[in-house]
Amino acid sequence: MARVALVSGGTRGIGKAISVALQEAGYTVAATYAGNDEKAAVFRAETGIPTFRWDVTKYDACVAGIASVEAELGPIDILVNNAGITRDTMFHKMTPDHWNDVIATNLSGLFNMTQPLWSGMRERGFGRIINISSINGQKGQLGQVNYSAAKAGELGFTKALAQEGAAKNITVNAICPGYIATEMVEAIPEKVLQEKILPQIPIGRLGKPSEIARCVVFLASDDAGLITGSTLSANGGQFFAG
Ligand code: CAA
Tell me what percent of the residues of the chain surpass a pLDDT of 90. Answer: 95
Average pLDDT for residues 110-124, to the nearest whole number? 98
Average pLDDT for residues 86-108, to the nearest whole number? 98
The length of the chain is 242
Q: What is the total count of domains within the chain?
A: 1
- Does residue 123 belong to any structural domain of this protein? yes
- With cut-offs at 50, 70 and 90, classify the pLDDT of residue 239: confident
- Does residue 242 belong to any structural domain of this protein? no
What angle is formed at CA 33 by the lines to CA 73 and CA 54, rounded to 5 degrees?
Answer: 80
- Does residue 188 belong to any structural domain of this protein? yes
Looking up residue 17, the CATH number of its domain turns out to be 3.40.50.720
- Does residue 146 belong to any structural domain of this protein? yes
Is ligand 1 within 6 A of the CB of residue 94?
no
- Does residue 240 belong to any structural domain of this protein? no
Return the pLDDT at 38. 94
What confidence tens digit (pLDDT) does each residue in 134-155 have? 999 999 999 999 999 999 999 9
pTM: 0.95
Supply the range of the domain harboring residue 133.
Answer: 4-234
3-state secondary structure labels for all residues of the chain: CCCEEEECCCCCHHHHHHHHHHHHCCCEEEEEECCCHHHHHHHHHHHCCCEEECCCCCHHHHHHHHHHHHHHHCCCCEEEECCCCCCCCCHHHCCHHHHHHHHHHHHHHHHHHHHHHHHHHHHHCCEEEEEECCHHHHHCCCCCHHHHHHHHHHHHHHHHHHHHHHHHCEEEEEEEECCECCHHHHCCCHHHHHHHHHHHCCCCCCECHHHHHHHHHHHHCHHHCCCCCCEEEECCCCCCCC
Identify which of 118, 113, 105, 214 has the alpha carbon closest to the alpha carbon of residue 171. Answer: 118
Is ligand 1 within 6 A of the CB of residue 106?
no
What confidence tens digit (pLDDT) does each residue in 169-215 have? 999 999 999 999 998 888 899 999 999 999 999 999 999 999 999 99
| Average model confidence (pLDDT) across the chain | 96
> How far apart are the CA of 141 and the centre of ligand 1, in A?
8
Q: Are the C-beta atoms of 80 and 7 separated by less than 8 Å?
A: yes
What confidence tens digit (pLDDT) does each residue in 4-23 have? 999 999 999 999 999 999 99
Average pLDDT for residues 85-104, to the nearest whole number? 98
Q: How far apart are CA 126 and CA 145, in angstroms?
A: 35
Is ligand 1 within 6 A of the CB of residue 112?
no
Q: How far apart are CA 54 and CA 84, in angstroms?
A: 13
- Does residue 85 belong to any structural domain of this protein? yes
- Does residue 194 belong to any structural domain of this protein? yes
What confidence tens digit (pLDDT) does each residue in 42-86 have? 999 999 999 999 999 999 999 999 999 999 999 999 999 999 999
Average pLDDT for residues 151-165, to the nearest whole number? 98
- Does residue 172 belong to any structural domain of this protein? yes
242 pLDDT above the threshold of 80: no
List active site positions: 147
